[in-house]
Structure 1
Amino acid sequence: MKSEDHELYVIPPNFIEGGTLLGGAFKVRNVIEAGILGAVTGLPILNLSLSLTTRIILLCVTALPLALLALIGINGSSLSDFFLLCLSFLRNRRVLGKKAEGGGKRGKNKLLPSWARDRGGQEKGQSLSKSRNRLSIDLKGHRIDRFKTFLADEAGAPLNPLAQYIPIEKVENGILYTRDHRYVKLVEVVPVNFLLRSAREQRNIIYSFISYLKISPVKLQFKVLSKRADINRHLDSVRKEFQAETDPRCRALQEDYLKLIQRLGSREAITRRFFLIFEYEPLPGARRGSEESEAIASLQTAARTAANYLRQCGNEVLLPEEEDQATAEILYHIFCRAESSVRPFAEKAEEVLARYLAAGRSVEHIPSNEFYAPGEIDFTHSRYLRVDGLYCAWLLVPSGGYKTQVPAGWLSLLVNAGDGIDLDMFLTRQPKDRMVRKLGQQLRINRSRIKETSDTNTDFDDLDGAIRSGYFLKDGLSNNEDFYFLNLLVTVTAATLDDLEWKIAELKKLMISRDLDVQTCSFCQEQAFLSAMPLASLERRLYERSRRNVLTLGAASCYPFTSYEMCDDNGILLGVNKHNNSLIVVDIFDSQVYKNANIAILGTSGAGKTFTLQLMALRMRRRGIQVFIIAPLKGHEFHRACANIGGEFISISPASRSCINIMEIRKADKSVDDLLDGPGAEKSLLAAKIQQLHVFFSLLIPDMNHEERQLLDDAMIRTYARKGITHANETLEDPEHPGRYREMPILGDLHQVLLESPETRRLANILNRLVNGSARSFNQQTNVSLDNKYTVLDISELTGDLLTAGMFVALDYVWDKAKENRTAEKAIFIDECWQLIGAKSNRLAAEFVLEIFKIIRGYGGSAICATQDINDFFALEDGKFGKGIINNAKTKIVLNLEDEEAQRVQSILRLSEAEVMEITHFERGNALISTNNNNIAVEIKCSQLEKELITTDRRELQALLAVGSHPERRPRCENP
């Protein structure tokens, strides 16, 4: 297999076990029931005094269909099992919670059905020990450090009857104590973007996952929770920024952004959380009295081991300090889906405490289940449940519903199925010695059977498949693989019954399209509800119906942590993840998540680079981040947005009155540095400025030799000396205006010094263009300011060598400003960065840009560059500077590229073939975001106001022009 090919993994059919007849086609129980049912209905018909033809017809319409039904069974169960299940459902139909208290349906309020009792015969609602729950919450002055677990003989019934229904005794040390005396650990896992990785990377992840499976606990449950994204914290952050904003134009932009977030959050935004659940398996001969302490130590060790091994896959296991509170909050999101989407856990806890105080009950006797128990569960329907008004149904993949060959991460089909579709995967490792013996015994039986079977019989294929599966399993076990039983349980939730049925139908279609099968859990929805709890326990009937034998490789192919999300509460919205519909909200200044805040935007002409760059700039300005934009080409595209949010638009050109004096030594505010670090070593500001001037003149005079460079250096020192400025920083102070610097020399002053010596006359003649020629606007003192929060420096009217030089002047000015306060966030946007590091530039200028990308993080800033000429971006010195910028930009945004450019980017960013294919077919407004070793395909989203401010599309500009004074006619569009 070639290295770029994706591997296929085998999930063999279940080998036929004992207790089957007719070549394994039917279970013994089904055959016996069919015989009994056929005899009971057929013998009376045969004894009727009717003609033989009539009796045969009656047998065909009565006994034969019943016998066939008994042979086949219903939903994978025998006929008797199904009827017992129906009877159990009818006996346990009830409503728990508010309706039951007020005389609900059928007047039943039994907490648990008979099949849910523990081994001792007591109902689980009464089998509680006198231990304490260490759930710590601070609620309106009432500090609760330890809640006593509910005791019927001490505190009476809980205020919420469903607190008794949930089979959890307590939460302590981050461990769930179940009422059937088990210890379960629940940890959250951060996923990776598995699907967009190369075949080699996927293979590495799978084999790292295999390493974990080999040492993991015997029973594992992987839970994927999918629901509408909770954007409340991000909205709170936006509202705080809105209150702090004083500019009315920026407030309008913030209001528009707030509406966009709310609209996307209510319609498109989906988030997924991944959990790993495992239980404590006591060692043989363990002492009974020390079981709890051993379980705590064992589960804590298992959690740390899982974190270490899954880190090799790229995953992070979250191990919070307040484990009990974090676990209770997770349970709240699992059990109270409807309530948790509108009310955070802290408010729920406050409400529980308030109810107990109002009822005159002691808070020392609040059961932990009160904090995450739902308010009502309706068990009166056979096809679904209602939990707090939310419709829930469960489906399972039957034993024969799997594909034999699957790719790595194939469960992403269910993980990314959509809002309200959860997945529970159960893996149970079996003892290898016992399975080897069982396989050998069954293989001998099947081989003897197949000898007696003709290859034209229907039984032959089943037996042949069973034998092949058996040999495959046996070979795998002899090659150090382990034997597992795999079960998949799918939860579907919806706000209405029609929506629930539509989701179930669409899910079945999706599964069939991938050659998979799924069955509803009719009449056993309650069993499925309890099985889907994060307790690593699958009900026996569901386990038998859905178990599929797999080896370690097949189990590892089910790697579930495949849906990566990027959502930072204090960030800026970029768009929506195309693969799982999660919001992409990025806070590039969060140093705990991103090593640096730099971004490189790559794309072909017309792909939307300028749009994306301006969209990010506007949203950073909305957050109060100081934004500087250097626009070397098409600067007019930035003017509309700048003018409409109160920004400063500075045009630098021969015809402009604005000027930045390149020779100015600017007074920097070092007060923050002095407070943080104390007075530092004094460095010559003149020497630093002359070093920057050498870069400027090397751009202006590319063929300057070493002798001329030395003469220029001497001329600059003499020019500053004539203004009274030397290498001593004290000489910068203006004696007539304390606290201010002296008047700085301009290019004309340097020109006069250069004319004085014949050796520098050539330099003076070249400089004359900026002093007395067409570009003499450069020969004046600085008359612009960078104090505005949104500043655009337009140098697009400069051409030829002046464009590169002018771009450097603007960047040098902005860089001095950005270094002033390293505690303040600021962003420098460099559009068409290839102008400074491309083939037309030189080494000194490219090194200056690269230096900014390397050290701006130390000043609390972000450097963001955009380029459309990929080849020129990597042209100078064999791409040294382009690669350096890419390597120092933690986040890369790749828009549509041509094939040749995509191949170049692929080798640098190590993209997979699938990602390259996607990039070359991107429509405008789509991008690939690469950060933290994850690549995410994103659909960029903007509001209507943002679109009107920054669009560059000709047709959209014509539409804006036509609208004029009729805003109600504006076309509504979200996509750029």
Structure 2
Amino acid sequence: MHPVKTKKKLSRADKKQIEAAIARANRTDKKGKSAQDSIPYERMWPDGICRVSDSHYTKTIQFQDINYQLSQNEDKTAIFEGWCDFLNYFDSSIHFQLSFLNLAASEETFANSISIPPQGDAFDSIREEYTTMLQNQLVRGNNGLIKTKYLTFGINADSIKAAKPRLERIETDILNNFKRLGVAARTLDGKERLSQLHAVFHMDEQLPFQFEWDWLAPSGLSTKDFIAPSSFEFRTGKQFRMGKKYGAVSFLQILAPELNDRLLADFLDMESSLIVSMHIQSVDQVKAIKTVKRKITDLDRSKIEEQKKAVRAGYDMDIIPSDLATYGSEAKKLLQDLQSRNERMFLVSFLVLNTADTPRQLGNNIFQAGSIAQKYNCQLTRLDFQQEEGLMSCLPLGLNQIEIQRGLTTSSTAIFVPFTTQELFQNGKEALYYGINALSNNLIMVDRKLLKNPNGLILGTPGSGKSFSAKREIANCFLLTNDDVIICDPEAEYAPLVDRLHGQVIKISPTSTNYINPMDLNLDYSDDESPLSLKSDFILSLCELIVGGKDGLQPVQKTIIDRCVRLVYQTYLNDPRPENMPILEDLYNLLRSQEEKEAQYIATALEIYVTGSLNVFNHQSNVDINNRIVCYDIKELGKQLKKIGMLVVQDQVWNRVTINRAAHKSTRYYIDEMHLLLKEEQTAAYTVEIWKRFRKWGGIPTGITQNVKVRPDRALCKAV
């Protein structure tokens, strides 16, 4: 065999892949029918358009899940009505197929996405233990299945040139319709569609799909040669073999008078590889109404014949067969739905493809699927001697070779709601573990930096595990990322974790020798030219906590404090050395020197925090906060000082955030008992201001509270 030559330099693995495909093509050419011949499409283009027959062209859209099963009834109704409108978009010229693929993934795929690589430091043993925990959770969850959902739509056209603009218009409409439902969706290109088919045909091997468009010309191969399995075997009429996998296709007989929206979800909850495919063809509305009217006429004719028989036999002419009466009323109801209730008629083929490694296991999977159908008064029937056509109809190609169809209205078709629960599994390098999805049991892995807003809240009743969740996230973040972590700890809960991670615990209390100066100012404190604007907000918040009162600070008091703040920092701004940093006593002395009586009132309120017994915050800072993980333990501050302590810590965190932004480093801030900061007007305003600014400055704040309804009437609290 001559080596393959291409314009692009191929790796050894690529060459082996092409040569194996050539060998397979040569081998199957000697037989009457090859595996490639069974695959029912003619050509795939790079832009994702596929010609499945002489005049039928299709495209595929992948869509994500949204929360449905756990939603409130009114939300469910809104989603259902939106899905009805979605289905009504398709007219009789568009055939479409909904495909749900639950395929096994290699353990390596999941392991790579959850493992925490060793760093060669003192924490590798913790990384290994944490990774083991994640692997155990993974086994409990999805059993190694990757679940994907697709919509394939197709039209008839004379050529690709005629089909392309029509398909693009329909594609845009479908994507917009998905967007209205709140569903993320994207169109697959040709290589992605081939990869999707490769995954179906190679369930037994789970090999990565290797293919490039410029491999085709020099190799003389078609796209089918790169996706075809080693063999298809359709010897028996009941099942088939595809490579080393066994499979069987069944169709759903819809016998129930009423359908349940859990039917499709229960099929997709099965813990084995399967494909559920729904081929849906809209019937022209005029034709549908004519057909129903014709059926009503036939039923009326039969009814008249029965009545004539009754008269001749001498019994009451109103006694007619019950089936005839039932069919008549149902047909009239259907006609009313089509004419006045925005319903369309659809022809639906519902196919289920079960797979397994052995015939016995396949039988068990089919039995389980059949039990689900029975639960909803439906029947799953094997496609006898149509297994090949059934398999090809399950492929997301938009081609239905099974002519078993059931007529359903829009509402009846929409009951197969394709949504269950939204998954959150991000594969980013810094995706952290947040628990398990309550409905699907799958891992929740999120990189908050990739979200629109990284801010977070941990809410829950007492004893529900709020602090544990925070500690788990802190440990995960420390082991996986390079972010700084700062904790405001009002209950002294976090010290053991911080100590184990070689962090620093700063204990602040009236008897402690650790001091934090609330007047500390970083010259990068704000985006504004002067850093004093935001600092003034902080000191106003501090004074509000100190002065107290039901209505907070009065306008005159705010003016005096703002004036003194600008004066007290003059020396430091002119000569920014640490020894020139003011302390609370400097502010107190300035207030005493003001003429207004309000200034004396504020100064008197400050006195206990300056020269009195609560003077813990009247010192220059003497703690080193450059450690990666810092915990401020304020448990022993007492009731009088705790809120002030939390506010001061928040200001210290903001200083750290401003320093880290210049170094392009993220700062995570965990604030327990956050509701304490949202009770007073000014402190709530400052907290919300910081909360909003954090994101732009590389901060990721997380509030922890059990008290969700802190002043729910206040717009500020809602903003958080």
- Asked if 1:403 corresponds to 2:269, the answer is no
Alignment of 1:603-752 (within 5 A): 603-635=460-492, 637-666=493-522, 668=524, 683-686=529-532, 688-703=534-549, 707=556, 709-713=558-562, 715-717=564-566, 719-721=568-570, 724-725=571-572, 729=573, 731-734=574-577, 741-752=578-589
Match of 1:495 among 357, 361, 365: 357
Match of 1:253 among 107, 112, 126: 126
3-state SS of 1:397 partner? strand
Cα separation, 2, equivalents of 1:581 and 1:306:
30
3-state SS of 2:391 partner? helix
User: What letter is aligned with 1:553?
Assistant: S
- Asked if 1:274 corresponds to 2:145, the answer is no
- Give the equivalent residue in structure 1 for 2:711: 874
Alignment of 1:439-450 (within 5 A): 439-450=292-303
Cα separation, 1, equivalents of 2:332 and 2:621:
83
Unmatched tracts of structure 1, length 5 or more? 1-134, 283-287, 671-679, 735-740, 886-976
3-state SS of 1:265 partner? helix
Q: Give the C-alpha shift of residue 278 in structure 1.
A: 2.0
Conservation of the 8 A alpha-carbon contact between 1:271 and 1:565: no
Q: Give the C-alpha shift of residue 617 in structure 1.
A: 2.0
User: What letter is aligned with 2:668?
Assistant: A
Note closer, same or farther for the CA distance 1:187–1:825 as it changes in structure 2 (3 Å cut). Answer: same
Q: Give the C-alpha shift of residue 583 in structure 1.
A: 2.3
Conservation of the 8 A alpha-carbon contact between 2:259 and 2:376: no
Conservation of the 8 A alpha-carbon contact between 2:281 and 2:348: yes
- Give the equivalent residue in structure 2 for 1:567: 425
Note closer, same or farther for the CA distance 1:883–1:302 as it changes in structure 2 (3 Å cut). Answer: same
- Give the equivalent residue in structure 1 for 2:441: 581
Cα separation, 2, equivalents of 1:634 and 1:138:
62
Cα separation, 1, equivalents of 2:262 and 2:562:
63
3-state SS of 2:485 partner? strand
Match of 2:11 among 140, 151, 157: 140
User: What letter is aligned with 1:861?
Assistant: G
Cα separation, 2, equivalents of 1:477 and 1:652:
73
Q: Give the C-alpha shift of residue 587 in structure 1.
A: 1.8
Cα separation, 2, equivalents of 1:719 and 1:214:
69
Note closer, same or farther for the CA distance 1:684–1:220 as it changes in structure 2 (3 Å cut). Answer: closer
- Give the equivalent residue in structure 2 for 1:557: 415
- Please give the root-mean-square deviation of Cα atoms over the aligned residues, in Å: 3.7
Conservation of the 8 A alpha-carbon contact between 1:874 and 1:883: no
- Give the equivalent residue in structure 1 for 2:3: none
Cα separation, 2, equivalents of 1:669 and 1:719:
16
- Asked if 1:222 corresponds to 2:98, the answer is yes
3-state SS of 1:537 partner? coil
Q: Give the C-alpha shift of residue 688 in structure 1.
A: 4.2
Cα separation, 2, equivalents of 1:157 and 1:562:
42
Cα separation, 2, equivalents of 1:668 and 1:857:
16
3-state SS of 1:438 partner? helix
- Asked if 1:315 corresponds to 2:186, the answer is no
Q: Give the C-alpha shift of residue 775 in structure 1.
A: 3.4
Identity level (%) = 23
Q: Give the C-alpha shift of residue 265 in structure 1.
A: 3.5
User: What letter is aligned with 2:702?
Assistant: I
Q: Give the C-alpha shift of residue 855 in structure 1.
A: 2.2
Cα separation, 2, equivalents of 1:698 and 1:428:
68
Q: Give the C-alpha shift of residue 471 in structure 1.
A: 1.9
Note closer, same or farther for the CA distance 1:714–1:857 as it changes in structure 2 (3 Å cut). Answer: closer
User: What letter is aligned with 1:534?
Assistant: P
User: What letter is aligned with 1:596?
Assistant: N
User: What letter is aligned with 1:518?
Assistant: L
> How many residues align structurally?
685
Cα separation, 2, equivalents of 1:264 and 1:553:
38
Q: Give the C-alpha shift of residue 485 in structure 1.
A: 1.3
3-state SS of 2:169 partner? helix
Cα separation, 1, equivalents of 2:29 and 2:135:
37
Conservation of the 8 A alpha-carbon contact between 1:627 and 1:829: no
User: What letter is aligned with 1:566?
Assistant: L
Q: Give the C-alpha shift of residue 715 in structure 1.
A: 4.8
Match of 2:323 among 445, 462, 465: 462
TM-score for the superposition, normalised by structure 1: 0.64
User: What letter is aligned with 1:602?
Assistant: L
Alignment of 1:116-515 (within 5 A): 139-140=10-11, 161-172=34-45, 173-178=47-52, 182-216=56-90, 217-228=93-104, 235-236=111-112, 242-243=117-118, 245=119, 247-249=121-123, 251-269=124-142, 270-282=145-157, 288=158, 291-319=159-187, 323-340=189-206, 343-345=207-209, 348-349=210-211, 363-398=218-253, 401-407=254-260, 411-450=264-303, 451-452=305-306, 460-479=321-340, 481-515=343-377
Q: Give the C-alpha shift of residue 608 in structure 1.
A: 1.2
Cα separation, 2, equivalents of 1:499 and 1:415:
18
Cα separation, 1, equivalents of 2:8 and 2:457:
44
More displaced stretch, 784-793 vs 639-648 = 784-793
Question: 1:863-903 CA distances to partner (integer Å, 9 max, x unpaired)?
Answer: 211211233x235xx23232111xxxxxxxxxxxxxxxxxx
Conservation of the 8 A alpha-carbon contact between 1:574 and 1:584: yes
Conservation of the 8 A alpha-carbon contact between 1:421 and 1:493: yes
Q: Give the C-alpha shift of residue 163 in structure 1.
A: 3.0
Q: Give the C-alpha shift of residue 653 in structure 1.
A: 1.6
Cα separation, 2, equivalents of 1:311 and 1:482:
22
Conservation of the 8 A alpha-carbon contact between 2:140 and 2:441: no
Q: Give the C-alpha shift of residue 307 in structure 1.
A: 0.9
User: What letter is aligned with 1:386?
Assistant: R
3-state SS of 1:339 partner? coil
- Give the equivalent residue in structure 1 for 2:621: 782
User: What letter is aligned with 1:331?
Assistant: L
User: What letter is aligned with 1:428?
Assistant: Q
3-state SS of 2:371 partner? helix
Conservation of the 8 A alpha-carbon contact between 1:224 and 1:422: yes
Note closer, same or farther for the CA distance 1:180–1:535 as it changes in structure 2 (3 Å cut). Answer: farther
Alignment of 1:780-929 (within 5 A): 780-822=619-661, 823-838=664-679, 842-871=680-709, 873-874=710-711, 878-885=713-720
User: What letter is aligned with 1:837?
Assistant: L
User: What letter is aligned with 1:327?
Assistant: R
Conservation of the 8 A alpha-carbon contact between 2:486 and 2:667: no
